[in-house]
Amino acid sequence: MQGREISQAVIQRLPRYYRYLGELLEDGVERISSNDLSKRMKVTASQIRQDLNNFGGFGQQGYGYNVKYLYTEIGKILGLEENHNMIIIGAGNLGQALANYAAFEKRGFVLRGLFDINPALTNTEIRGVKIRMMEELKEFVRNNDVEIAALTIPKDTAVEVANMLVDNGVRAIWNFAHTDLNLPENIIVENVHLSESLMKLSYNICRYNEKHKE
């Protein structure tokens, strides 16, 4: 399994499998057939079999999938068994909301620091994590093995800040600023744009309304 390239389309679906399998585990379900999982997830059973076959032999004919095993393996594939040190740049509304969401830590994303330029935020803490000023950032990143930086700052400063982070060893950017960062190829960037999701919703509402117009 190691070293094998898995398509991005499959990777995108894995967190959803992970969530459903986690819920099954919580409900004490030990095994599940692809048909039952298909009904729950509203994905075809063949899609499930195809996706999960990517990782080789998780399912057994007539037995189904071992929920705990599959959950653990998908967790490993998603890198959730390791801790990832994370910082947040921009401790405004969004940055603080992310910092307040304790569940990220359960998945191994450990918030090490928050950074901002607003001196009024100095020494404020969110869930015990201090908000620091940007002047401290370079040294902090170098000394704390920071892997991921979430960017929740205005878009006009995002590119400059992202470059600085990368120059100091940050390997992955979780980008909420509404701009493309154009970083070197070895830097992993995940853009999150809630407004794009909302536009998709809007499109679907319009389509629904069209269909149901008298």
Residues engaged in binding ligand NAI (CB under 6 A): 89-95, 115-118, 134, 152-155, 157, 161, 176-178, 192-195
Q: How far is the CB of 28 from ligand NAI (least distance, A)?
A: 36
Instruction: Compare residues 70 and 183 and give the one whose CB is closer to ligand NAI.
Output: 183
Q: How far is the CB of 127 from ligand NAI (least distance, A)?
A: 17
Q: How far is the CB of 179 from ligand NAI (least distance, A)?
A: 8
Instruction: Compare residues 9 and 194 and give the one whose CB is closer to ligand NAI.
Output: 194
Q: Report the distance separating Cα 190 and Cα 18, nearest Å.
A: 19
Tell me the sheet residues that pair with 88.
Answer: 114, 150
Backbone angles phi, psi at 30, to 5 degrees: -95, -35
Q: How far is the CB of 208 from ligand NAI (least distance, A)?
A: 24
Instruction: Compare residues 103 and 194 and give the one whose CB is closer to ligand NAI.
Output: 194
Query: Cβ-closest residue to ligand NAI?
Result: 92
**Tell me, what amino acid is at 164?**
M
Given a contact cutoff of 8 angstroms between Cβ atoms, the answer to whether 91 and 31 are in contact is no
Q: How far is the CB of 176 from ligand NAI (least distance, A)?
A: 4
Instruction: Compare residues 41 and 117 and give the one whose CB is closer to ligand NAI.
Output: 117
Instruction: Compare residues 172 and 177 and give the one whose CB is closer to ligand NAI.
Output: 177
